[in-house]
Structure 1
């Protein structure tokens, strides 16, 4: 088995052990081989500037991250460190994230505000104040394959839970099947909302490896499970 190099050993190992993310299955058509030193589709500077402008307009609190290539088709290119999102009446913090592509951060910001926060208010009667994640970048393969995960290019986020303004904490692991009727409905609504914004969205109904998180990936695949 080929040895996998981790760019951030402690963070990547913890994320892999806790989330066990397998990602979606390989598409039927053969995929082009990525360069060991460059990602398959690094964003152009104008494209990245436009994305950063969009993220700023979404009132996100973030800082750009310097492009880095780690070899073995692992990179953090066109990425940001996303810390929080401002809304009209609250700030939604985001925990656990490392570098994440701007292309993934912008739909995440829209999902947090218009998908998760609205669902929290309408279904649970409280504002969203925090999104908990298992991270974003991790230099690893899709489990059981030789294909790189979306996490290897910082293009995916694993979301594990949500904290509300009234102090309630809703987790994918604890409340997808075990929560109240309203909590279960909330999680399914926000999962379905993510499917409209991300290429690949995976949750507990996909397989056991996703019992504790939603895998959100900006890959244009239109794969929702």
Structure 2
């Protein structure tokens, strides 16, 4: 009897293992964005491993640009820039008119590392626009920013670690302008308890799924007027900062 019981338990365990494998296989087929081994597809929704895959593109400009083209994102590749051992970039792009993106940027000449641009596109499609329609009944037409590339250390200090901005691997988002002209700014609306504040918190939280670092007014006074979004290398290992 004891041997029979062990055999039955072993068969049950094997059956559960097979069932689990089939369920995992089915989920992977339907939601490849949730699997760590699948290729990033910018045309898919944001999944469990999308953020890691985006951060991993920071030094793979050609692959990143290919993924953006495949997703219909219009852009212009920027020539490499060097400003010493700590500053400059090799894989920066600038969004262009047309393609699958309808949003505008102010100033219009935003150039970022390709991995940041790819994350911005997914953030806009799957986080910003749905949140705007939910809270205001209309889409975002324009995003205002404070720029990306700046050859400086963190907080502009004379010593210490270099900022991700020094490699165009970050962007600072200041405000969102809805279709029709309504403006929601980080500095003016973060503390609001109404739709503006809820919208800003929702898009901040959603950014944490596609960027390695997200810093907001909740972090410190230096970020009271913008969201800092970057693709620090640690993001490829799943180490993220979200405040």
TM-score of the aligned structures, taking structure 1 as reference length: 0.74
Structure holding more strand per residue = 1
- Gap runs ≥5 in structure 2: 1-56
> Which residue of structure 2 aligns with residue 5 of structure 1?
none
Q: Secondary structure at the match of 2:162?
A: coil
Which residue of 200, 208, 225 maps to 1:195?
208
**Equivalent pair of 1:85/1:109 in contact (CA under 8 Å):** no
Larger of the two Rg values belongs to structure: 2
Runs of 4+ aligned residues of structure 1 deviating over 4 Å after TM superposition are 83-87
Whole-angstrom distance in 1 between the partners of 2:103 and 2:111: 18
Partner Cα distance (2:79, 2:88) in 1: 11
- Report which stretch shifted further, 181-190 or 76-85: 76-85
- Alignment of 1:95 with 2:113, yes or no, is no
Secondary structure at 1:60 match in 2:
coil
* CA shift digits 1:44-73 (9 cap, x unpaired): xxx322211222233323200111211041
Please state which structure has a larger fraction of its residues in helix: 2
Give the aligned partner of residue 126 of structure 1: 138
For these two proteins, the number of residue pairs brought into alignment is: 179
Partner of 1:168: 182
Rate the CA distance shift 1:196–1:206 in 2: closer, same or farther, 3 A.
same
> Is the CA contact 1:138–1:154 (under 8 Å) kept in the aligned structure 2?
yes
User: Partners in 1 of 2:88 and 2:172 — Cα distance?
Assistant: 18
Query: 1:57 pairs with 70, 73, 97, which one?
Result: 70
Q: Does 1:109 align with 2:121?
A: yes
Aligned to 1:16: none
Give 3-state SS (helix, strand or coil) of 2:83's partner. strand
The equivalent residue for 2:169 is 155
Question: How big is the alpha-carbon RMSD for the aligned residues of Structure 1 and Structure 2?
Answer: 2.0
